[in-house]
């Protein structure tokens, strides 16, 4: 009878180890609702108007990149004075949100930026548009001008995030609350590749009218997490305990 009891205990311990392995694998796999972005994170930001001939003008002041704190979607921060409307400021807010993702069922972690002017004026004035400035572009987390690079601050991922695979990015352009246009541009950032939390390609020019005064940018991704230390300990402990119980 004692031997039978020992085998029964051994089976239970192996079962426990199996559960630990399952938990271990679950933590390592992508969890759509697991937080991905570090709390209290900052991201650097610049926005420009441009011509099709390559001329550019920074729109959010002239002091270099602004540092925008995560959690500011509802209370956007000043990113600098608006170049085309000196009495207005460029406002930027961003955060990690949990929302339905186009093409996927369920709720996923996403990053969203909201950029606007404080007085509702357009990013590009009519005069600027008449001078050929009909494009917008932005730099988030990385910067092309060597003078701005020391201030670059990418979107930061939590320590247990092992990899972030880029899925899609979409920019939606508004006049106030009226949507004017929506454009997917994730292919330029490398769909299916590891995302470093930046968006700063100089060739990403968005043709807009002089009525655009707000932009919403959403980044979709799939994250993979490294095993949490407590789970790894559970796995190791269950395995060792099972081994000890099985000794004759």
Q: What is the dihedral of CA 129, 213, 185, 113, to 10 degrees?
A: 150
pLDDT in the model for residue 102? 82
Burial of 28 (0-12, 13-18, 19+ CB in 10 A): middle
Structure tokens belonging to residue 230: 């407590």
Where do the domains of the chain lie?
2-29+228-246, 42-225
Find, among 210, 213, 190, 212, the residue nearest to 200 by Cα: 190
Structure tokens belonging to residue 248: 């004759």
pLDDT in the model for residue 106? 83
pLDDT in the model for residue 33? 73
pLDDT in the model for residue 228? 61
pLDDT in the model for residue 169? 96
Q: What is the pLDDT along the chain (248 residues), one digit of tens a residue?
A: 333 333 333 333 333 333 333 333 444 445 667 899 998 999 999 999 999 999 999 999 878 999 999 999 999 999 999 999 989 999 999 999 998 888 887 889 999 999 999 999 999 999 999 999 999 999 999 999 999 999 999 999 999 999 999 999 999 999 999 999 999 999 999 999 999 999 999 999 999 999 999 999 999 999 999 876 554 455 455 454 444 444 44
Supply φ then ψ for residue 54, to 5 degrees.
105, -5
pLDDT in the model for residue 71? 96
pLDDT in the model for residue 21? 33
pLDDT in the model for residue 75? 96
The residues with which 170 forms a beta bridge, in sequence order, are 184, 218
pLDDT in the model for residue 25? 41
pLDDT in the model for residue 56? 96
Place of tokens 């959690």: 71
- Distance separating alpha carbons of residues 160 and 195, to the nearest angstrom: 15
pLDDT in the model for residue 229? 59
Distances in Å between the alpha carbon of 155 and those of 142, 164, 176, 191, 219? Answer: 10, 12, 27, 18, 11
pLDDT in the model for residue 121? 96
Q: Is 188 helix (H, G, I), strand (E, B) or coil?
A: helix
- Distance separating alpha carbons of residues 87 and 49, to the nearest angstrom: 18
Please provide the DSSP assignment of 28-55 as one string.
HS--TTS--BPTT-EEEEEEEEE-TTS-
């Amino acid at each position: 009878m004692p031997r039978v009891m020992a085998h029964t205990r051994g089976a239970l311990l192996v079962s426990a180890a199996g559960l630990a392995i399952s938990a271990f694998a679950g933590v390592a796999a992508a969890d759509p609702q697991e937080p991905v972005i570090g709390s209290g994170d900052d991201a650097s930001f610049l926005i420009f108007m441009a011509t099709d001939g390559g001329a550019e003008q920074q729109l959010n002041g002239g002091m270099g990149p602004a540092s925008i704190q995560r959690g500011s979607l509802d209370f956007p921060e000043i990113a600098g004075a608006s170049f085309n409307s000196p009495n207005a400021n460029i406002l930027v807010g961003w955060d990690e949100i949990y929302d339905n993702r186009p093409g996927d069922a369920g709720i996923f972690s996403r990053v969203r930026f909201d950029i606007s002017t404080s007085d509702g004026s357009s990013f590009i004035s009519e005069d600027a548009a008449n001078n050929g400035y009909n494009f917008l572009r932005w730099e988030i987390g990385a910067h092309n001008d060597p003078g701005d690079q020391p201030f670059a601050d990418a979107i930061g991922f939590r320590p247990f995030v092992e990899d972030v695979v880029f899925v899609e990015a979409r920019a939606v352009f508004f006049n106030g609350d009226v949507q004017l246009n929506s454009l997917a541009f994730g292919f330029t950032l490398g769909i299916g590749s590891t995302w470093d939390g930046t968006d700063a390609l100089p060739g990403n020019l968005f043709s807009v009218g002089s009525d655009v005064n707000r932009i919403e940018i959403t980044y979709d991704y799939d994250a993979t997490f490294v095993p949490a230390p407590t789970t790894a300990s559970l796995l190791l402990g269950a395995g060792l305990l099972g081994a000890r119980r099985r000794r004759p």
